[in-house]
Amino acid sequence: MISWQPQPTADGSFTFYSEVFGETFHSLQGAKAEAFVKFAQATELAQQAERGQIRLLDVCYGLGYNTAAAIETIWRSVPDCAIEVYGLELDASVPIAATHPPVIDAWIPAVQAMLRQLALHHHYQTSQLTATLLIGDARQTIQQLAPHVQADAILFDPFSPRRCPQLWTVEFFQQVAVRLAPTGKLATYSRSASVRSALMSTGLQIGTIPLDGRASPHEWSQGTTASFDASTLIPLSAMEQEHLQTRAAIPYRDPTLTDSAEQILARHQIEQQQSDRESTSSWRRRWGIH
């Protein structure tokens, strides 16, 4: 049994470190802040809540931070908004570990109650909030959701593409896209060209999540948004658009949704080596990215 040890982040909230994937679940600059900025705000949940009901799909639920931030954002805007949540998570021990102090202390009492029940029983229901947690490989569990279950916001937060390529492939994004409502919006922390091109291959339009004042000099975006309606998105910069023409934009592929990370990475490497697109290093030099 894995023992998850809370790791403090810069905003006073906590995250865990995964030995399997070699990464923390959230940014060390601030786990709670990331959940609000890159997911709840980026999907415009406060505005969407004005309709009175909203459905969320949290891909890689983890500690539940993105769902928690989404619920708090919605209820802060429209206190009586009805919320329906579906979460996909590989490891059931993670949300359970996140129900203990100090990790759970970041959230209001009503959200803490939901996080505890959902972690233990994988279902939670009140008159205002219904939540379901599906445990297992998200490539398979997402298929348990009928295509008519369409989310107003998809919070897409797997480990990074190089560490967990299984969940950043064209084929998985196809499964995700059919579960996004026509007026819905997806948000992810990744600004990867391969991720963006995979999203575009499903028919989605993409936008950027602009930098804030804490950005490092080598950064150009806080992440990516996607929607069927380009008018709701912040357009990519010229630099980001050119990034999509380089070898970095060749997407990951997993034709049967069953390949291992090693198989997907090997296939991707071969495609990049055989490509006649501009190299990513050349693009970086042209734009002065170090």
pLDDT digits (tens, 9 = 90+) for 261-278: 999 999 999 999 999 999
Angstrom CA distances, 35 to 32, 68, 115, 253, 267, stand at 5, 8, 15, 28, 32
pLDDT recorded at residue 219: 74
pLDDT recorded at residue 289: 86
Whether 141 maps to a domain, the answer reads yes
Whether 105 maps to a domain, the answer reads yes
Q: Which residues pair with residue 14 across a beta bridge?
A: 8
Q: How far is CA 4 from the centre of its chain?
A: 21
Q: Are strands 151-156 and 53-59 parallel, antiparallel or unpaired?
A: parallel
Between CA 105 and CA 37 the distance in angstroms is 19
CA angle 58, 80, 179 (to 5 degrees): 30
- On the question of pLDDT at 21 being above 90, the answer is yes
**Percent of the chain scoring above 90 in pLDDT:** 92
Ramachandran region of residue 233, left (φ > 0), alpha (ψ -120 to 50) or beta? beta
Whether 215 maps to a domain, the answer reads yes
Between CA 211 and CA 219 the distance in angstroms is 8
- On the question of pLDDT at 92 being above 70, the answer is yes
Q: Whole-number mean pLDDT of the chain?
A: 95
pLDDT recorded at residue 46: 97
Could you give the number of structural domains in the chain? Answer: 1
Whether 200 maps to a domain, the answer reads yes
Q: Are strands 180-188 and 151-156 parallel, antiparallel or unpaired?
A: parallel
Section 126-135 average pLDDT = 98
Whether 40 maps to a domain, the answer reads yes
Whether 9 maps to a domain, the answer reads no
Q: Are strands 17-18 and 14-15 parallel, antiparallel or unpaired?
A: unpaired
**Percent of the chain scoring above 70 in pLDDT:** 97
Range of the domain at 54: 31-287
Residue 94 maps to which CATH number? Answer: 3.40.50.150
CA angle 167, 227, 153 (to 5 degrees): 70
Whether 6 maps to a domain, the answer reads no
Whether 2 maps to a domain, the answer reads no
- On the question of pLDDT at 15 being above 70, the answer is yes
- On the question of pLDDT at 215 being above 60, the answer is no
Amino acid sitting at position 149: V
Q: Are strands 17-18 and 53-59 parallel, antiparallel or unpaired?
A: unpaired
Peptide bond into 102 cis (omega under 30): yes
pLDDT recorded at residue 200: 98
Maximum separation of any 2 CA atoms in the chain, in Å: 56
Angstrom CA distances, 19 to 16, 23, 196, stand at 10, 7, 27
